[in-house]
Structure 1
Amino acid sequence: MNHTKTQHGFASIAFRDRNDAPCRLQKSSLVTEDALWLGVDDAEPKIMACNAAAHGVETTETTGWVPYPLPDAVLLTTGMHLTREQVAQLLPILQHFVDTGELSETGHPL
């Protein structure tokens, strides 16, 4: 995990998930309440190679997933913007997973 600060001075932690995708946990700049961002850095949209041509994607691949280019005007939100209350609700569920490898069945609302 790489602990840094954003250009505006907010704490940020970069790491990679199980699939080696770059991810980030970052303090939000929201001024109305404490919040954080958690998620992957890039959605990396893909399309099945066999369907690519029908959707205007040129590829030499014939199987598997291939990159699906999006116009610069398109934004995919990949982060969860979580309040302190939402994080507090998730913590017991995540801790149960750490302890048991299972999701909590105690009915904690999200």
Structure 2
Amino acid sequence: MEIERSRTNRGFEILEFKDRYNVDCSIQKSSLADDEAIWFGINDANPKIMASKTEKGGTGWVSYEIPDDVLLSTRMHLTREQVKELLPILTKFAETGDL
């Protein structure tokens, strides 16, 4: 997996990569002033709807337009403590394939 390291427009470190399905993901240092945290997850929700539910009809999944005044959250906001609690689980999975 290729990981690109850069900085956001506000100067926070961000690591960008693609997941198993070639979806853009990132880990970004949070701007929280009172705690250290990261943002972690996919960059875009990429909503879909069954084509049969649209005016055009059809089969399979098609893109679904979300109104500008709707927010879809796609990334976890994790503190250092939360990351510490997840690390043993992730390490076990990396080593054994089990949770």
TM-score for the superposition, normalised by structure 1? 0.85
Residue 52 of structure 1 deviates from its aligned partner by: 2.0
Q: 1:90 aligns with which of 86, 89, 94?
A: 86
The more displaced of 41-50 and 61-70 is 61-70
Question: 4+ residue runs of structure 1 moved beyond 2 angstroms?
Answer: none
Counterpart residue number, 2:14 = 12
In 2, Cα distance between the equivalents of 1:11 and 1:71? 30
Residue 102 of structure 1 deviates from its aligned partner by: 0.9
In 2, Cα distance between the equivalents of 1:42 and 1:8? 20
Q: Does 1:79 align with 2:84?
A: no
Which structure would you say has the larger Rg? 1
Q: 1:62 aligns with which of 22, 33, 58?
A: 58
**Aligned partner of 2:93: which letter?**
F
Residue 8 of structure 1 deviates from its aligned partner by: 1.5
Q: 2:49 aligns with which of 47, 50, 63?
A: 47
Percent identity (aligned):
52
**Aligned partner of 2:30: which letter?**
S
Q: Does 1:102 align with 2:94?
A: no
Aligned length: 97
In 1, Cα distance between the equivalents of 2:85 and 2:54? 41
List per-residue Cα deviations over 1:25-73 (Å, max 9, x = no partner): 00000010000000111000000111223xxxxx4x6111000101111
List per-residue Cα deviations over 1:62-89 (Å, max 9, x = no partner): 1110001011111101010000000000
In 2, Cα distance between the equivalents of 1:31 and 1:52? 44
In 2, Cα distance between the equivalents of 1:65 and 1:90? 33
**Aligned partner of 1:24: which letter?**
S
Q: 2:28 aligns with which of 14, 26, 29?
A: 26
